[in-house]
Amino acid sequence: MTERLIIGMFGFGVVGQGLYDIIKTKKLNLEIKKFVIKNANKERTLPAELFTTNAEAILGDDEINTVVELIDDAEAAFEITRRALKSGKNVVSANKKMIANHLEELTLIQQEYGTSLLYEGAVCGSIPIIRNLEEYYDNELLHSVSGIFNGSSNYILSKVFNENQSYNLALKQAQELGFAETDPTLDVGGFDPKYKLTIIASHAYGIYVDPNDILNIGIDQLDNQDIRFAKEKGFKIKLLPFAKEINNNQVVLYVLPRLITSDNILFNVENEYNGVLVKAAFADEQFFYGKGAGGHPTGSAVLSDIAALRYGYRYEYKKHLDASQVLYSTDYQLKVYFRYAEEETLDLVKFGAIVERFYGQDFKYVIGEINLQEIIAKRDIINQPGNFIAEIP
């Protein structure tokens, strides 16, 4: 027997419209009663009486038993979600920043009030990675989870490497298509995949990590010299989040550009597509692939969560029960390609070893081993204009 869902939705942007488009094609035991939006004067495709700017129209309505949260403001989204869960309403959210920053508190609220928060749409668009980590891998030892988690940056890199476009032109196209925001820092700076990595790590390893404690360096300092170097060596550059268990009871997390070879399954993940690579002790290596940007792909993931609520589904956070000894670590050796502008930079950034060095009039780089802790400590230096760092196999 499925429960009838009476839905109140916050936000009616790209994902909200995409979700509504999908819902109206389905015969589901649900009703969208009210939308709360920010701009009351904007023209809508639905009757005006469905829209309001008053959050109480949803949060204060006892008939509404399900809240769908699809707004951009992470802190406002948290207040909506917290209050809804405490008032007995289940919540579906696609706000990765809000969830990453408040996941531990939101988990405790769910346990205390017996409500459910689902957020498949917050991570990798149409790929059902959270549900798989919760259900399929619940008793599995995961060696690592990595991949392409951000469709915007991947679209830019695809255009740069496959069509020889400039970075700026590729970024402009991504913005025109709605894959990247007017301020693209969240995507190209590696913040968006970091928030997604935080959520994935929680379900994969049972740990809560403050996103501010995780290194993220993006592709915003990428230059033609780096592109030429990668092509000459047979590489592509992808922006990859990485979670890996080390020393049996420690997990390392970071987001860095990575030079990858053609035998890497992520090599041919292009444009707005995402790919998640899971390496496990017993299941071995498995790969998930799908669109990571756009209203309909993300809307489909949100709808999947809504449909699951009809059957009383909730995340059990099973890995957290066994994770008392799992610790977050930043003590991890990386091999990197590092282009630098000023010679004194190498006096400030300490490499464990340098295995290759090139010094030209307009192009200087080293390939060497460096500890993640050193990159974190010297991030402001490493990520200065004129410098670019990427992990290398």
Residue 71's CATH number: 3.40.50.720
What pLDDT is stored for residue 325 in this prediction? Answer: 75
Helices 295-309 & 14-23, crossing angle to 10 degrees?
60
CA distance 354 to 141: 34
Q: List the one residue out of 243, 214, 216, 213 whose CA is nearest residue 319.
A: 243
Mean confidence (pLDDT) of the chain: 92
Q: How many CA atoms lie within 13 A of 175 on its CB side?
A: 13
3-state SS, residue 114: coil
Indicate if 196 belongs to the active site: yes
* 197 Cα distance to chain centroid: 6
What pLDDT is stored for residue 343 in this prediction? Answer: 92
Where among 306, 321, 336 does a domain terminate?
321
Q: Same domain for 153 and 21?
A: no
3-state SS, residue 93: strand
Classify residue 309: in a domain, yes or no.
yes
Classify residue 335: in a domain, yes or no.
yes
3-state SS, residue 68: strand
- Give the percent of the chain with pLDDT over 70: 98
What pLDDT is stored for residue 324 in this prediction? Answer: 66
pLDDT at 338 over 70: yes
pLDDT at 322 over 70: no
316 or 42, which is more confident? Answer: 316
Q: List the one residue out of 86, 72, 70, 79 whose CA is nearest residue 19.
A: 70
What pLDDT is stored for residue 282 in this prediction? Answer: 87
Count of domains observed in the chain? 2
- Give the percent of the chain with pLDDT over 90: 78
CA distance 320 to 172: 42
Q: State the residue range of the domain holding 340.
A: 140-291+325-391
Classify residue 317: in a domain, yes or no.
yes
Q: Same domain for 31 and 157?
A: no
pLDDT at 28 over 60: yes
Classify residue 168: in a domain, yes or no.
yes
Classify residue 146: in a domain, yes or no.
yes
Q: Same domain for 227 and 330?
A: yes
Classify residue 13: in a domain, yes or no.
yes
Task: Out of 89, 196, 244, 364, pick the active-site residue.
Answer: 196
pLDDT tens-digit series, residues 60-102: 999 999 999 999 899 999 999 999 999 999 999 999 999 999 9
Confidence at 215, pLDDT banded by 50, 70, 90: very high
Is the pTM higher than 0.85? The answer reads: yes
pLDDT tens-digit series, residues 240-289: 999 999 987 899 999 999 999 999 999 999 999 999 999 999 889 999 99
Mean pLDDT to the nearest integer, 144-158:
96
Q: Same domain for 119 and 155?
A: no
Confidence at 138, pLDDT banded by 50, 70, 90: confident
pLDDT at 388 over 90: yes
Q: Same domain for 214 and 329?
A: yes
Instruction: Dig out the tokens for 282 from the structure.
Output: 């017993």
In the beta sheet, which residues pair with residue 52?
36
What pLDDT is stored for residue 14 in this prediction? Answer: 77
Q: Same domain for 242 and 228?
A: yes
